[in-house]
Amino acid sequence: MEPDRRVALVTGGTGGIGSQIVARLAQEGYAVAIHYAGRSADAEAAAAAICDNGGRAIAVGADIADEVQTAAVFDRITSEFSGIDVVVNTAGIMLLAPLVDLDLADLDRMHRTNIRGSFVVSRLAARTLRRGGALINFSTSVTRLQFPGYSAYAASKGAVEAMTLVLARELRGRDITVNAVAPGPTATPLFLEGKSEDEIATLAHVAPLERIGIPDDIAEAVVFLAGPARWINGQTIFVNGGAA
């Protein structure tokens, strides 16, 4: 199907990376469902801006770990646009501390959103996506970079990678690609919060390109996987400037 006939759901579509993915997919002609968990006003404003520019977009809210709420989101998109072709699952949370100090309640929160949420979204995508579709989950380059303080977060994203790569094999014969994108340090408000200029400068030198990524770097890879990259399947794509 041509991009102007394709429909995409972006979970976490109001976040620093998610919002840029929404913008890029809309520019490519996709109808976009912008998922939010708590920032409804931002999602509605983004959808209105896309529609004002001649595109098609709606805002949809849900706790992605709640299978009933998330199924309702998929049903609404299917009703509104007659189907779904691409699911980009950026929604997730990051709670950092050394393993010995991490509150187990924070571990459980990340498990619920990052692992269970990705599982729920992936299962619904597998049941719903049309032929020629794509599911793109989100991991992290920290699974390779091994930054101290990221153990629980990296573990949750390692689980996302595992389920993603297995699902790609389970969908044999469906003509649906399933991949994970693993960003490196990326200049989003969430990432920059609480970091000094020296810390950011140090992280910028991790990659041979000697800079921090920007959301559009990640969105570019997602748009490629969503459309023309039909021979990339069952892979984790590290989008980090060569940092790992």
> Is residue 210 classed as helix, strand or coil in its secondary structure?
coil
* Residues recognised as catalytic: 153
Q: Is residue 53 part of a domain?
A: yes
Q: How many domains does the chain have?
A: 1
pTM: 0.94
Q: What is the pLDDT of residues 181-207, one digit of tens each?
A: 999 999 998 788 878 889 899 989 999
Is pLDDT at 5 greater than 90 in this prediction?
no
User: Helix or strand or coil: residue 61?
Assistant: strand
**Considering the domain boundaries, does residue 101 fall inside one?**
yes
Determine, yes or no, domain membership for 168. yes
Range of lowest pLDDT (1-5, 15-19, 24-28, 80-84): 1-5
Distance CA 102, CA 149 (A): 9
Longest dimension (CA), the chain: 52
* CATH assignment of the domain containing 126: 3.40.50.720
Give the total residue count for the chain. 244
Paired residues of 87 in beta bridges: 9, 135
Of 66, 168, 82, 160, nearest to 128 (Cα)? Answer: 82
- Does residue 35 sit within a domain? yes
Instruction: Grade residue 236 by pLDDT with cuts at 50, 70 and 90.
Output: very high
Domain assignment present for residue 39? The answer is: yes
Q: Is the pLDDT of residue 160 over 80?
A: yes
**Is the torsion defined by CA of 188, 191, 196, 202 positive or negative?**
negative
* Tens digits of residue pLDDT in 129-141: 999 999 999 999 9
**204 domain-assigned:** no
Residue 71 in domain: yes
Domain that holds residue 158: 3-185+217-237
Residue 82 lies in a domain: yes
